[in-house]
Amino acid sequence: MSSLNQYKIIDISEIMNYVENPRHDVGSNEIDTIKKLVNKVGSQYMYNLAKDIYENGLLGSNLPVLVYDPNKGKYIVYEGNRRVACLKFLNNPEILTSIDKSLMQRIENLKKEDKANYSNKINCYITSEEEALLIMERTHSGEDKGRGLKAWSSKEKGVFESRRKKKSPIELVIADQNEKFLNEDITQKISYTTIRRFFNNREIKKALGIDEEFSNIDKNKIIKINFLIDKAIEESNRNGLSLTRLFNKAREIEDFFLPLIKEKEEDTNSSIKRKEEVTTVSHHDNKPKEEQDEGLLIDGIKSSGINLKESDGVGIKKGNNQQVKSLKISLKKDENKFYYTNQTIDLNEKIEIEHKDLFEPQLLRIECSDLVLVNGIIQPDNIPGEYSITFKYYMDNTFEYTYWQDSLKIVIKAMKAPFIVPKQQTVLSETFYKKYYENLQFEHSDKIKSLLYFLTYENKNGKYSPFLNIVSRMFLEYTFRLYASKVLKEDNHSIDIKSKSLQGFIDYCLYFARKKYIKMQ
């Protein structure tokens, strides 16, 4: 069997860390490489990984990738440097003596715990350097259009956690129940992690009456949660701060939400009381006809003599003369058939309201699960297409009964980028040219001036583009020769010797330029 592309159990003492690990500067030896790795990753992170390996061992599905180095007579770990380093700590904590004594002490204390579940002999994948580098690239280059590892979203992490522990996190429960009861994706207006931050707060859960298993999050609680989220978004927009910055601490969340929850609870109790009054209105067959007919018409529906207040959001009766104001809502005819992806579209402007004094904005819901909507405003950069938007106005703050509903279709088209004639690109700017051209007055300055002119006005992508590197090099060399002769007072022979390596010559000039600058400071 070939020594390449095989799985093999290797003792940790036979493995060396990769001195050219992209995570850190090149190491000079094994200890220096580990030191650079610890400093780059951080002691706490390295300890967390070492503790996990100590208690659970290495993951069998993700093996270290090794390449055998015949000159050293050992294997070099290309993929898995942190894991191998941690195993070395566990095998011999003293290697940390000159690296991090505090980490060494923590590893020694960890080893005193009777939880060891690891081995110094580890299963590895042995391959060539070429394949090892490809594996490193695939592992650490992100999703890479599907070629690399795809990270889980916050919701996917929550789903995994719920299936693993047989208990869903509160943010997943809220998102699922919101989809179930309101048929909308709550994460379109608030991030998954922010839902957790808001509603996993102990005081907020207590105020909302959410149990420890989150099993009693019903429709009413989902409506309250949406109400709180909308209020938080309004506050965020008003202050010009993101939700996470505005509500950064538990106390800030509690101070904002708890009064709102109390206010919402009072509104709900008031609404329930009014409905109970409706159901207990006595029959009035024996009343005079004018009393039987007395009542409020709301879009043609008689209110059975109930004197609804303006705060009910639907209408108001004025005195005994039967004058009635009725809230009427409708959608304007949308004359603009098309919008573009770079626009914001205020859907509130599509609504016509009669008797605006009866209209309560918080009872209006504008919904479209496929669009990014914030407070009734479509945000830019949605996907082009045709969308159906639902407008709902509720009877009261319980959001149980709909007073008015309608829908509107809009078409969003991709915005064509205007054609812009690309500006000619040159090596040197015209500002640089104007500043220095006339000041170049010395023997043989015509050479450097002609190079200066050419690099300022010749298109980098024009017909002379193949020669620009040569001309740029000539300009650099002449410029630094001039600096060496005029400022550093070097003779021509000395300059000729030093300029054989242009990079070395420039470094030489810059060294003295820096020293001169420091003296001037």
Question: Do residues 258 and 207 make contact, with C-beta atoms less than 8 angstroms apart?
Answer: yes
Tell me the average pLDDT across 455-461: 83
Element (H, E) at 3: none
Alpha-carbon distance values, 512 to 447, 493, 516, 517, 520 (Å)? 25, 19, 6, 9, 12
Q: 129-137: which pairs have CB atoms within 8 A and are 24 or more residues apart?
A: 129/67, 129/78, 131/5, 132/65, 132/66, 132/67, 132/78, 132/79, 133/78, 135/65, 135/78, 135/79, 136/22, 136/65, 136/78, 136/79
CA dihedral for 243, 246, 250, 252, sign (positive or negative): negative
> According to the model, what pLDDT value does residue 150 have?
64
Tell me the average pLDDT across 127-141: 87
Tell me the average pLDDT across 176-192: 88
> According to the model, what pLDDT value does residue 515 have?
73
When computed from its CA atoms, the radius of gyration of the chain, rounded to whole angstroms, is 37
> According to the model, what pLDDT value does residue 153 have?
66
Per-position b or e across 338-377, b if 16+ CB within 10 A of its CB: ebeeeeebebeebbeeeeeebbbeebbbbbbeebebeebe
> According to the model, what pLDDT value does residue 86 have?
95
Tell me the average pLDDT across 154-167: 66
> According to the model, what pLDDT value does residue 13 have?
94
> According to the model, what pLDDT value does residue 339 have?
86
CA atoms of 276 and 317, how far apart (whole Å): 20
Please write the tens of the pLDDT for every residue from 478-498.
Answer: 888 888 888 888 888 888 887
Tokens of 163: 């299936």
> According to the model, what pLDDT value does residue 24 have?
87
Question: Do residues 387 and 368 make contact, with C-beta atoms less than 8 angstroms apart?
Answer: yes
CA atoms of 443 and 479, how far apart (whole Å): 13
Please write the tens of the pLDDT for every residue from 33-82.
Answer: 999 999 988 999 999 999 999 999 998 878 999 999 999 999 999 999 99
CA atoms of 235 and 233, how far apart (whole Å): 5
All structural domains of the chain: 6-146 (no CATH), 159-275 (no CATH), 296-420 (2.60.40.10), 430-520 (no CATH)
The angle formed by the CA atoms of residues 89, 93 and 95, to the nearest 5 degrees, is: 85
- E-assigned strands of 58-217? 65-69, 74-79, 121-126
Please write the tens of the pLDDT for every residue from 300-325.
Answer: 333 333 334 444 445 544 444 445 56
What is the band of 207 on the pLDDT scale with cuts at 50, 70, 90? very high
Percent of the chain with pLDDT over 90: 30
> According to the model, what pLDDT value does residue 35 have?
93
CA atoms of 417 and 214, how far apart (whole Å): 49
> According to the model, what pLDDT value does residue 191 have?
86
φ/ψ bin of 441: left (φ > 0), alpha (ψ from -120 to 50), beta (otherwise):
beta
503 vs 227, which has greater pLDDT?
A: 227
CA atoms of 83 and 444, how far apart (whole Å): 63
Mean pLDDT lowest among 14-18, 148-152, 387-391: 148-152
Element (H, E) at 178: helix 170-182
pTM of the full structure: 0.40
> According to the model, what pLDDT value does residue 301 have?
38
**Is a pLDDT exceeding 90 seen at residue 109?**
yes
Burial class (CB within 10 angstroms; exposed 0-12, middle 13-18, buried 19+) of 300: exposed
Q: Give the three-class secondary structure for 87.
A: helix
Question: Do residues 299 and 328 make contact, with C-beta atoms less than 8 angstroms apart?
Answer: yes
> According to the model, what pLDDT value does residue 25 have?
87
Percent of the chain with pLDDT over 70: 79
How far is Cα of residue 492 from the mean position of the Cα atoms in its chain?
A: 59
CA atoms of 119 and 91, how far apart (whole Å): 9
CA atoms of 352 and 484, how far apart (whole Å): 78
